[in-house]
């Protein structure tokens, strides 16, 4: 672990193994931390906060630029590590490393854009000054599905704002977190400013993060159930909270759209990271007028997606994170089949040959999906594309909104009025209009409802780590 500028073992001396999800091979060992380690990390962050918060924005910017430079220089080795530990194809890992580095560069600039303002007063002898200052020590919990970019998406704005941090890395991908922290160490961040705790059991760490009075903000990315629990505990101690949680994204193809073009976009997006993305489309709505062409294109596209070890050339879908994830996907597909769905491609676990030691599910297309199926209601987080055929354009937005989640949605149409009405009518935080990649370090990312609170990225991202202070001056 990384505490107060040093690499340290767990106080207990315990460790746990990290495995490759494609092969089952042990690839490393890391400290198995507990509450004592989390408390030590919080203490280090608290001790460093005063001096770090008083550094100039230009000093913080320079260090973030240095981290961006190092991450860019090491992009090849970082991508290889990510594929080995997390499983995604090497090309996808390289794309994530670049995406993650972009947050460091963006917030290196945003550090210098933190500004207050003068406000007018009704009194002639009074002036108001608004000042923005760092919230304090930030506790962060990050997921395994994007094991590098989810760190920098939180670390970039928090550090730019002048906060210090303690991060609990996902137990499935601690080596990726360690590599990112090595970059911050090599970039020259002062001791205590960034701290890393690794643990097989996250509960004791979460307890410290949500109850320790020195922690002033909690930021979490992960499941809705865990996010609600952490946010509830943190709120009970009046901590600032931002949580980015699950999704159940609709993908609406209107009658005027090219169904072939839309199907190609859906296939490219759905199988990204083996479907293990919170913005992955989980309900593909195609109008009956274009259903045949849409289905045919998806059958062809999905049938060509090759599953395997992400290090191998031509692999489009890697392993899932563990056997429980495979079992969840399998249950959803079996439920859909039992209720009348068709499965023209895939639909099974992959167990033979090279797949025997990993956690693989075949790239799958499910058709004739109805609203009584589990896959229609629950996030899949796997390589399965569920297609729903609809006939009434006037009700498809209501169908898409029929979920407690509100993270991402996608729309294909060539009609500007349809695009605008749908954009305004969908209750989701991120909407791609003829676009399957509506994300960037410069753009706000976050959802509504059970998909979370707050935003990451963009100008909005740094505001999550700032307190607003008002000064009233009598002159």
pLDDT tens for 128-170 read 999 999 999 999 999 999 999 999 999 999 999 999 999 999 9
Residue 247 contacts residue 280 (beta carbons within 8 Å): yes
pLDDT band at 100 (very low <50, low <70, confident <90, very high): very high
Q: Do residues 426 and 402 lie in contact, with contact meaning Cβ atoms separated by under 8 Å?
A: no
pLDDT computed for residue 101 by the predictor: 98
Query: Chain-wide mean pLDDT for the chain?
Result: 97
**What is the mean pLDDT of the segment spanning 318-325?**
96
**CA separation for the pair 102, 392 (Å, rounded):** 42
Among residues 85, 96, 163, 278, the one annotated as catalytic is 278
Looking at residues 332-353, what average pLDDT do you find?
97
Asked if 108 contacts 442 with a C-beta cutoff of 8 angstroms, the reply is no
Closest CA to 390 of 221, 235, 202, 254: 254
Percent of the chain scoring above 90 in pLDDT:
100
The catalytic residue among 39, 96, 244, 464 is 244
- pLDDT, position 19: 97
**Domain at 249-440, CATH homologous superfamily:** Aldehyde Dehydrogenase; Chain A, domain 2 (3.40.309.10)
Contacts of 40 (CB under 8 A, 6+ apart): 3, 4, 11
Give the mean pLDDT of 48-66. 98
Query: In angstroms, what is the C-alpha Rg of the chain?
Result: 23
Superfamily of 2-245+451-474 according to CATH: Aldehyde Dehydrogenase; Chain A, domain 1 (3.40.605.10)
* CA atoms 147, 152, 154, 158: torsion sign: positive
Return the percentage of the chain with pLDDT > 70, whole number: 100
163: annotated active-site residue = no
Q: Is 176 among the catalytic positions?
A: no
Average pLDDT over residues 312-321: 96
- CA 247 → CA 270, 280, 409, distances in Å? 13, 8, 9
The average pLDDT across 213-233 equals 97
Q: Residues 66-85: pLDDT tens digits?
A: 999 999 999 999 999 999 99
Structure confidence at residue 385 as a pLDDT band (50, 70, 90): very high
Can you say whether the dihedral through the CA atoms of 352, 362, 439, 165 is positive or negative? negative
Q: Other C-beta atoms within 10 Å of 434: how many?
A: 15
Cβ-based neighbours of 100, under 8 Å, separated by 6 or more: 71, 146, 148, 149, 150, 151, 152, 153, 180
pLDDT at 365: 98
Q: Are strands 430-433 and 408-412 parallel, antiparallel or unpaired?
A: parallel
Calculate mean pLDDT across residues 389-393. Answer: 96
DSSP secondary structure string for all residues of 140-183: EE--SSSTTHHHHHHHHHHHHHT-EEEEE--TT-HHHHHHHHHH
Give pLDDT, residue 256.
97
Residues in the chain, overall count = 475
Neighbours of 194 (CB within 10 A): 30
Q: Where are the domains of the chain?
A: 2-245+451-474, 249-440
Average pLDDT over residues 332-337: 98
Q: What is the pTM of this model?
A: 0.96
């Amino acid at each position: 672990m990384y505490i107060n500028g040093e690499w340290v073992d767990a106080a207990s001396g315990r460790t746990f193994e990290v495995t490759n999800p494609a092969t089952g091979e042990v690839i490393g060992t890391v400290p198995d931390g507990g509450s004592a380690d989390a408390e030590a990390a919080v203490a280090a962050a608290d001790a460093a906060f005063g001096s770090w918060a008083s550094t100039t924005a230009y000093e913080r910017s320079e260090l973030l630029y240095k981290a961006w430079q190092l991450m860019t220089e090491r992009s090849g080795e970082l991508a290889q590590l990510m594929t080995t530990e997390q499983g995604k194809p090497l090309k996808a890992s390289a794309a994530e490393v670049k995406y993650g580095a972009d947050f460091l560069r963006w917030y290196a600039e945003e550090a210098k854009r933190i500004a207050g303002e003068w406000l007018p007063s009704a009194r002639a002898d009074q002036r108001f000054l608004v000042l923005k200052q760092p919230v304090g020590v930030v506790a962060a919990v990050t997921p395994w599905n994007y094991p590098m970019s989810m760190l920098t998406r939180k670390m970039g704005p928090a550090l730019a704002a002048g906060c210090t941090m303690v991060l609990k890395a996902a137990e499935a991908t601690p080596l990726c977190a360690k590599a990112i922290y090595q970059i911050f160490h090599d970039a020259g961040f002062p001791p205590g400013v960034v701290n890393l705790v690794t643990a097989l059991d996250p509960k004791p760490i979460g307890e410290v993060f949500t109850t320790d009075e020195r922690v002033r903000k909690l930021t979490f990315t992960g499941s809705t159930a865990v996010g609600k629990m952490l946010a509830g505990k943190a709120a009970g101690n009046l901590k600032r909270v931002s949580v980015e949680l699950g999704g159940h994204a609709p993908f609406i193809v209107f009658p005027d759209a090219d169904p072939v073009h839309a199907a190609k976009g859906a296939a490219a997006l759905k199988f990204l990271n083996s479907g293990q993305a919170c913005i992955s489309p989980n309900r593909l709505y195609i109008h009956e007028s274009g259903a045949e062409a849409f289905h045919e294109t998806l059958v062809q596209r999905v049938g060509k997606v090759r599953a395997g070890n992400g290090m191998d050339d031509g692999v489009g879908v890697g392993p899932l994170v563990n056997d429980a994830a495979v079992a969840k996907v399998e249950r959803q597909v079996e439920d859909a089949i039992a209720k009348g769905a068709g499965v023209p491609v895939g639909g099974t676990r992959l167990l033979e040959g090279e797949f025997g030691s990993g956690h693989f599910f075949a790239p799958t297309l499910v058709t004739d999906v109805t609203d009584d199926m589990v896959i229609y209601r629950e996030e899949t987080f796997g390589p399965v594309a569920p297609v729903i055929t609809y006939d009434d354009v006037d009700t498809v937005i209501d169908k898409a909104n029929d979920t407690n989640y509100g993270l991402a949605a996608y729309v294909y149409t060539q009609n500007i009025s349809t695009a605008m009405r749908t954009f305004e009518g969908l209750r989701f935080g991120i909407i791609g209009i003829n676009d399957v990649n509506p994300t960037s370090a410069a753009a706000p990312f976050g959802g509504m409802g059970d998909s979370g609170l707050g935003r990451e990225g963009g100008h909005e991202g740094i505001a999550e780590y700032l307190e607003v202070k008002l000064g009233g001056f009598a002159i």
